[in-house]
Structure 1
Amino acid sequence: MAFNIGLSGLRAATSDLNVTGNNIANAGTAGFKQSRAEFADVYAASVLGSGSNAQGSGVLLANVSQLYNQGNINYTQNALDLAINGNGFFVTSNNGDVGYTRAGYFGTDRDGFVVNNFGYRLQGNAVDANGNVQSGVVGDLKIETASQAPKASSKLDQNFNLNSTLVSPKTWQASYDAEYNRWLNDPVNGVVDPANPTGAQQAAAATSAASVADATFNPSDPTTYNSSTSVNIYDTQGNAHVLTQYFVKTGANDWDMKMLVDGRNPADPGSTTPYALGLSFNSTGQLQSVSDENATPGLVTIGADMTVTINAASGNPPTPGSGWIPAISDNGKPPVWNWNGAQANAGGIAFDFSDATQFSSAFAVNSVSQDGYTTGQLSGLEIDDTGVIFARYTNGQSKVQGQIVLANFANVQGLTPVGKTGWVQSFESGEPVVGTPRTGTMGALQAGALEDSNVELSDQLVNLIVAQRNYQANAKTIETESAITQTIINLR
């Protein structure tokens, strides 16, 4: 009997050594979860049951369980290295066979699919043509490596402040002393000799402001406007064009905004005369109205059930051509420019400067944004903590490529390990609950990082010593039983 008990102890100690050795071997394996050998005693059973003097029959290996506590996060330089901080498993597919893993070694294959070391494809939510994540549509995640097509500018948002303390560029100062000697600032256009006035007209008494009659706007002469700003806009082929806006104060609360695209009038590319809009502000400095300074007043009478389309530049029905055709509404809303292919196909730009102000502070463009861009090449990937994958391009744009999903189980101990740091579901684990990171019980993702093995080497080395001593002790049981048996044999 003691032989069998000792043998069962040796088998148990061997199993413990195997489990501990496997833990030690995988101490450096990302996503590995340590195992634990769990034992139970054995008692001989009879029809009448076991009495109080029943003797044990040894030990058996009841279970080898895995401990799913969090491993340390180790940061790497690979954007597609992923770590889960919390609950959940990555979902992979190998030709339709679904598996689960915590090992976040991922990259892309030659077709652009996100795969792990063994070529299993990472699963996630796809995106539609507009880059919106399609929740619930789980499939193979793929990174589009093709160039990003250019996009023509269709909207320009600006928030700027015009300095209310400035005076019109057509105004200059003349100052006199008590003996009627004066000091003149140079006029905007030309230099005036007080004995023989030429060029700009002057009129002054004491200290006064005089209007310069021929101070013609000139984009090359900063003295003919108060402020200016420029921004790049793009056509459908990705060509950049410089839109420059010049601000000229015309009254206490009134300004002209003169605009050129690549130095040309946007309504007439053959002309360098800027297109002008009038901006009027109220007493609190808020933009009140916008007017078309180029328009010719007119009256249009429309009969019943009739639609009339008017070209804002000429008053004629619109015809194909080149240039930028501006339009202005009658309700003070920002203007819309329709661009008819100076370099490429027709597009349109809507201006929004409804938040423009006129305060007693320096001219400043507080914010400016436009939605056009040139062609871009893929330059990198970013993944946020919710699993959304962004592709970054050389044109400064980014595009959503998909969203990684995670899976969790009611009983993770019921998962079946299949090697390669992976598991598959079983009857004991239950069905997977699939969701995106940071929702429900799912953990958060950390990109550019890996989850270390949760093996604690110091604990495992102690377990190794304990298993070794257990093995030696059980071997001693067999040795002692052998000696007793030999004593019985020697009784002859």
Structure 2
Amino acid sequence: MSFQAGLSGLNASSKALDVVGNNVANSSTVGFKSASAHFGDLYAASLTGSGASQIGIGTALNTVVQQFTQGNITTTSNTLDLAINGGGFFKVTNGTSVSYTRNGQFHTDSKGYVINDNGYKLEGYIATATGEIVASEPAAIQIDTGNISPLATGNATGGDATLKLNLNSSKSTPTVTTFDSTNPLSYTYSTSMTTYDTLGVEHAIRYYFIKGDTDTTTGLTSWTVHATLDGDSATDTTMGTLDFDSSGLLSSVTDSGGASTTTGVLALPSTWDITTGATTPLGSGLPNWNVDFSGSTSYSGESTVNAMTQGGYAQGQLSSLTVSDDGTIQGNYSNGQTKTLAQVVLSTFANPNGLSSIGNNLYTSTPASGQGLDSVPGAGTRGLLQSSAVEESNVDLTQELVNMITLQRNYQANAQSIKTQDQIMQTLVNLR
């Protein structure tokens, strides 16, 4: 009887309209993926097998398939809003179970964990204390809001300070032969450098350069280097000498003890009274304040500093976060330093349509989807991340409205087939 076929058609159209309605309802849901209903025809079983005259008995819902196509990306003002441009899912956990999502609307909670609106924590690789990312088992990302420790100038991590300058070869030797930091007539040129001690206290070291006579035998011109700490003179401020050849290039460096070195590095005076004599005393000893003068020149022209670096800095407070396209989360500190805190991971699946939807834009893995494979954004088929952005729903609202009209016609047609069958049955009942 065609009642069954018509009824199955009504059910099929109704379920398809449910899918379309769900798509339309989530057309503004971040990270939502549209779905489509797939149906199959039905035939009655026959003991003698099927034949050319076999008539179907309707249709049934086979599956609802989600379309994991890319949604449009819209920018936001939240750094931790993350959009995936390509394949993959964010891995999140509520502490007891792991879920996956394309919705990248994240923020931090009171403990610094990166969470979504439902409290699920975003997972990734956690950086070591030195800011190094080591791929291991992903864990919940927690932003360390503590201060970044100070680093002394000359620390093994920061390296020696460098000072690349040009000392004017046309200058005459000073008229005052005894160096005095307070008397400009006793030196040829001076410049200062900001440095940091082991406690992160800022200090000003001023360097003084005194031009000497040219050696008629070697052709070298020596410049004596002195230094003072925070404006205080020590018993001996001499660092050594810089020897320039007749071409104006740095030929050799001699330390305060008279030893020659080819590295271009001079040590600061060891006689500084750093505990009581300096304006700002050092609390835990003299750092390795060596200065590398490599690349310096002595040409005719104004004395000037061409490059100056030092690796130290004061302690700093976390001021902002940045997230790069490979998922690396960096902390930006008030002292101008940055530190890697974590790296977001993305998970891929052999069959994304095998994932089970559990609501709130979340999916769980199933035997049909396969196990989630974790790696960093950009690896394999995984997409890259865009910070301060979200991925919109991929629902094509125009197409869904057209689908709705089509399904409405299908529903009406199936209802008409039931009505026609009813009229035929009524005719049979009325036979006398």
Query: Do both share a fold (TM > 0.5)?
Result: yes
What does 1:118-137 align with in structure 2 at a 5 Å threshold? 118-137=118-137
Alignment partner, residue 281 of structure 1: 244
Say yes or no: does 1:160 pair with 2:99: no
What is the aligned-residue RMSD (CA, Å)? 2.3
What does 1:317-328 align with in structure 2 at a 5 Å threshold? none
Contact 2:127 2:133 (8 Å CA) reproduced = yes
Q: Give 3-state SS (helix, strand or coil) of 1:250's partner.
A: strand
Contact 1:260 1:275 (8 Å CA) reproduced = no
- C-alpha distance in 2, partners of 1:369/1:460? 61
- C-alpha distance in 1, partners of 2:412/2:223? 97
**Residues 69-116 of structure 1: per-residue CA shift (max 9 Å, x gap):** 111111111111111111111111111311111100111111111111
Q: CA deviation at 1:371?
A: 2.1
Alignment partner, residue 185 of structure 1: none
Contact 1:329 1:335 (8 Å CA) reproduced = no
**Residues 187-217 of structure 1: per-residue CA shift (max 9 Å, x gap):** xxxxxxxxxxxxxxxxxxxxxxxxx4x3655
Say yes or no: does 1:454 pair with 2:394: yes
Q: Structure 2: any 5+ residue segments left out of the alignment?
A: 215-220, 276-280
Contact 2:252 2:260 (8 Å CA) reproduced = no
2:266 to 335, 353, 366: 335
| Higher mean C-alpha deviation, range 33-42 or range 339-348 | 339-348
Alignment partner, residue 15 of structure 2: 15
What does 1:109-120 align with in structure 2 at a 5 Å threshold? 109-120=109-120
Alignment partner, residue 375 of structure 2: 435
Say yes or no: does 1:386 pair with 2:326: yes
Q: Structure 1: any 5+ residue segments left out of the alignment?
A: 171-211, 298-327
Q: CA deviation at 1:35?
A: 0.6
**Residues 57-78 of structure 1: per-residue CA shift (max 9 Å, x gap):** 1111111011111111111111
What does 1:237-276 align with in structure 2 at a 5 Å threshold? 237-251=199-213, 253-265=221-233, 268=234, 271=235, 274-276=237-239
- C-alpha distance in 1, partners of 2:390/2:302? 51
Compute the TM-score of the two structures, normalised by the length of structure 1.
Answer: 0.78
1:353 to 283, 288, 293: 293
Change (3 A) 1:436 1:336: farther
Q: CA deviation at 1:256?
A: 2.5
What does 1:15-414 align with in structure 2 at a 5 Å threshold? 15-154=15-154, 155-170=159-174, 212=175, 214=176, 217=179, 219=181, 225-251=187-213, 253-265=221-233, 268=234, 271=235, 274-292=237-255, 294-295=256-257, 330-337=261-268, 342-346=281-285, 347-359=287-299, 362-414=302-354
Contact 2:35 2:65 (8 Å CA) reproduced = yes
Q: CA deviation at 1:488?
A: 1.8
Q: CA deviation at 1:244?
A: 1.8
Q: CA deviation at 1:359?
A: 4.5
Q: CA deviation at 1:232?
A: 1.3
Contact 2:164 2:296 (8 Å CA) reproduced = yes
- C-alpha distance in 1, partners of 2:370/2:416? 44
Q: CA deviation at 1:118?
A: 1.0
Contact 2:31 2:71 (8 Å CA) reproduced = yes
Give runs of ≥4 in structure 1 deviating > 6 Å. none
> Which structure has the bigger radius of gyration?
1
Q: CA deviation at 1:19?
A: 0.7
Instruction: Report sequence identity in percent.
Output: 40
Q: Give 3-state SS (helix, strand or coil) of 1:382's partner.
A: strand
Q: CA deviation at 1:457?
A: 0.9
- C-alpha distance in 2, partners of 1:360/1:67? 72
| Equivalent pairs, count | 413
Amino acid at match of 1:441: T
Change (3 A) 1:251 1:99: farther
- C-alpha distance in 1, partners of 2:183/2:401? 82
**Residues 290-314 of structure 1: per-residue CA shift (max 9 Å, x gap):** 112x43x6xxxxxxxxxxxxxxxxx
Q: CA deviation at 1:460?
A: 1.0
Alignment partner, residue 278 of structure 2: none
Q: CA deviation at 1:146?
A: 1.6
Alignment partner, residue 464 of structure 1: 404
Q: CA deviation at 1:247?
A: 2.9
Q: CA deviation at 1:406?
A: 0.9
Amino acid at match of 1:278: T
Say yes or no: does 1:479 pair with 2:426: no
Change (3 A) 1:218 1:430: same
- C-alpha distance in 2, partners of 1:408/1:286? 58
Contact 1:288 1:332 (8 Å CA) reproduced = no
Q: CA deviation at 1:127?
A: 1.7
Q: CA deviation at 1:366?
A: 3.5
Q: Give 3-state SS (helix, strand or coil) of 1:58's partner.
A: strand
- C-alpha distance in 2, partners of 1:132/1:358? 42
- C-alpha distance in 2, partners of 1:358/1:290? 14
- C-alpha distance in 1, partners of 2:86/2:386? 11
- C-alpha distance in 1, partners of 2:73/2:142? 26
